[in-house]
Amino acid sequence: MAASTEVCLRCKRLFTYPGFGSMYCQECRVIDEENRQRVKEFLNEHGAANMYEICEATGLKESMIKQYLRDGMLEIPENSPVFIKCERCGCDIRSGRWCPECAAQMTADLKGCYVDVGDKPKKDVSGKMRFLNGRK
Protein backbone atom coordinates (compact mmCIF):
# COMPACT_ATOMS: atom_id res chain seq x y z
CA MET A 1 0.00 0.00 0.00
CA ALA A 2 1.38 3.38 -0.97
CA ALA A 3 1.59 6.40 1.31
CA SER A 4 -1.33 8.81 1.09
CA THR A 5 -2.36 12.14 2.55
CA GLU A 6 -4.90 11.73 5.36
CA VAL A 7 -6.51 13.79 8.13
CA CYS A 8 -5.33 13.01 11.67
CA LEU A 9 -8.22 11.62 13.72
CA ARG A 10 -7.13 13.59 16.79
CA CYS A 11 -5.92 17.04 15.68
CA LYS A 12 -7.50 17.12 12.17
CA ARG A 13 -4.23 18.16 10.50
CA LEU A 14 -3.13 16.66 7.19
CA PHE A 15 -0.30 14.15 7.37
CA THR A 16 1.33 11.53 5.20
CA TYR A 17 -0.12 8.16 6.14
CA PRO A 18 2.42 5.40 5.42
CA GLY A 19 -0.30 2.80 4.74
CA PHE A 20 -0.27 1.03 8.12
CA GLY A 21 -0.71 1.82 11.81
CA SER A 22 -2.93 4.39 13.44
CA MET A 23 -4.52 7.27 11.59
CA TYR A 24 -2.70 9.83 13.72
CA CYS A 25 -0.04 12.29 12.66
CA GLN A 26 3.44 11.82 14.14
CA GLU A 27 2.85 14.30 16.98
CA CYS A 28 -0.45 12.68 17.99
CA ARG A 29 1.11 9.21 17.77
CA VAL A 30 3.62 10.27 20.42
CA ILE A 31 0.80 11.59 22.63
CA ASP A 32 -1.18 8.39 22.07
CA GLU A 33 1.79 6.24 23.07
CA GLU A 34 2.29 8.32 26.23
CA ASN A 35 -1.40 7.87 27.09
CA ARG A 36 -1.20 4.12 26.55
CA GLN A 37 1.87 4.01 28.77
CA ARG A 38 -0.02 5.86 31.55
CA VAL A 39 -2.83 3.29 31.39
CA LYS A 40 -0.35 0.41 31.38
CA GLU A 41 1.54 1.80 34.38
CA PHE A 42 -1.70 2.37 36.30
CA LEU A 43 -2.90 -1.19 35.66
CA ASN A 44 0.50 -2.67 36.50
CA GLU A 45 0.53 -0.77 39.79
CA HIS A 46 -3.14 -1.21 40.80
CA GLY A 47 -4.25 -4.38 39.00
CA ALA A 48 -7.61 -4.75 37.23
CA ALA A 49 -9.76 -1.62 37.35
CA ASN A 50 -13.02 -0.43 35.88
CA MET A 51 -13.38 2.25 33.22
CA TYR A 52 -14.17 5.01 35.73
CA GLU A 53 -11.08 4.25 37.84
CA ILE A 54 -8.79 4.23 34.81
CA CYS A 55 -10.22 7.50 33.47
CA GLU A 56 -10.02 9.16 36.88
CA ALA A 57 -6.43 8.07 37.52
CA THR A 58 -5.03 8.80 34.06
CA GLY A 59 -7.12 11.82 33.05
CA LEU A 60 -8.10 10.11 29.79
CA LYS A 61 -11.57 10.15 28.27
CA GLU A 62 -13.71 7.02 28.25
CA SER A 63 -13.67 7.04 24.44
CA MET A 64 -9.87 6.66 24.46
CA ILE A 65 -10.03 3.69 26.84
CA LYS A 66 -12.71 2.10 24.62
CA GLN A 67 -10.46 2.63 21.60
CA TYR A 68 -7.60 0.88 23.39
CA LEU A 69 -9.99 -2.03 24.03
CA ARG A 70 -10.97 -2.10 20.34
CA ASP A 71 -7.30 -1.94 19.33
CA GLY A 72 -6.59 -4.96 21.53
CA MET A 73 -4.25 -2.97 23.78
CA LEU A 74 -6.44 -3.56 26.85
CA GLU A 75 -8.63 -6.48 27.86
CA ILE A 76 -11.66 -6.61 30.12
CA PRO A 77 -11.20 -9.20 32.90
CA GLU A 78 -13.11 -12.48 32.51
CA ASN A 79 -15.28 -11.98 35.61
CA SER A 80 -16.36 -8.44 34.71
CA PRO A 81 -20.10 -7.73 34.43
CA VAL A 82 -19.37 -5.22 31.62
CA PHE A 83 -18.01 -6.07 28.18
CA ILE A 84 -17.78 -4.42 24.76
CA LYS A 85 -19.82 -5.69 21.81
CA CYS A 86 -18.73 -7.48 18.66
CA GLU A 87 -19.13 -5.01 15.79
CA ARG A 88 -20.68 -7.69 13.60
CA CYS A 89 -23.07 -9.77 15.74
CA GLY A 90 -23.28 -7.75 18.96
CA CYS A 91 -22.21 -10.50 21.39
CA ASP A 92 -20.06 -9.64 24.41
CA ILE A 93 -16.28 -9.62 23.91
CA ARG A 94 -13.37 -8.67 26.16
CA SER A 95 -11.24 -6.83 23.58
CA GLY A 96 -10.89 -6.26 19.85
CA ARG A 97 -13.58 -5.55 17.30
CA TRP A 98 -15.06 -8.97 16.57
CA CYS A 99 -15.80 -12.21 18.39
CA PRO A 100 -13.79 -15.30 17.32
CA GLU A 101 -16.74 -16.71 15.33
CA CYS A 102 -17.27 -13.51 13.31
CA ALA A 103 -13.53 -13.10 12.72
CA ALA A 104 -13.34 -16.69 11.42
CA GLN A 105 -16.38 -16.15 9.18
CA MET A 106 -15.01 -12.90 7.75
CA THR A 107 -11.66 -14.59 7.10
CA ALA A 108 -13.43 -17.41 5.27
CA ASP A 109 -15.48 -14.89 3.28
CA LEU A 110 -12.35 -13.01 2.24
CA LYS A 111 -10.60 -16.16 1.06
CA GLY A 112 -13.23 -16.50 -1.67
CA CYS A 113 -12.68 -12.92 -2.89
CA TYR A 114 -9.17 -13.33 -4.21
CA VAL A 115 -8.81 -14.50 -7.79
CA ASP A 116 -5.93 -14.47 -10.22
CA VAL A 117 -3.41 -15.40 -7.57
CA GLY A 118 -0.29 -16.71 -9.27
CA ASP A 119 1.49 -19.89 -8.27
CA LYS A 120 4.98 -19.78 -6.84
CA PRO A 121 7.55 -21.54 -9.01
CA LYS A 122 8.34 -25.06 -7.84
CA LYS A 123 11.95 -24.88 -8.92
CA ASP A 124 14.39 -22.39 -10.34
CA VAL A 125 13.33 -22.13 -13.96
CA SER A 126 15.05 -20.12 -16.61
CA GLY A 127 13.21 -19.47 -19.80
CA LYS A 128 10.95 -17.14 -21.66
CA MET A 129 7.64 -15.68 -20.62
CA ARG A 130 4.64 -17.44 -22.13
CA PHE A 131 0.85 -17.18 -22.27
CA LEU A 132 -1.16 -19.22 -19.81
CA ASN A 133 -3.46 -22.04 -20.91
CA GLY A 134 -1.56 -22.60 -24.15
CA ARG A 135 -2.64 -19.26 -25.67
CA LYS A 136 -0.31 -17.75 -28.24
Q: What is the pLDDT of residues 97-123, one digit of tens each?
A: 999 999 999 988 888 776 565 666 666
* 74 φ/ψ angles, rounded to the nearest 5 degrees: -125, 160
**CB atoms near residue 120 (< 10 Å):** 5
Sorted by sequence, the CB contacts under 8 Å of residue 2 that are 6+ apart come out as 19
Of the two residues 34 and 127, the one the predictor is more confident about is 34
20 Cα distance to chain centroid? 10
In the chain, where are the structural domains located?
A: 1-74, 76-113
Residue 24 class from Cβ within 10 Å (0-12 exposed, 13-18 middle, 19+ buried)? buried
pLDDT at 129: 59
Q: What's the pLDDT at 30? A: 93
CB 56 within 8 A of CB 83: no
Phi and psi of 15, rounded to 5°? -150, 165
**Could you give the count of Cα atoms lying within 13 Å of 90 in the half-sphere of its Cβ?**
0
pLDDT at position 125 is 58
| pTM of the predicted structure, to 2 decimals | 0.67
Q: In this predicted model, which residue has the larger pLDDT, 124 or 10?
A: 10
Residue 39 CB neighbour total at 10 angstroms: 20
pLDDT at 58: 94
> Nearest 5°: CA angle at 119, between 118 and 122?
155
| Mean pLDDT in residue range 79-102 | 91
pLDDT at res. 99: 94
Render pLDDT for 23-74 as a digit per residue (tens, 0 to 9). 889 999 999 999 999 998 998 898 888 889 999 999 999 999 988 888 888 8
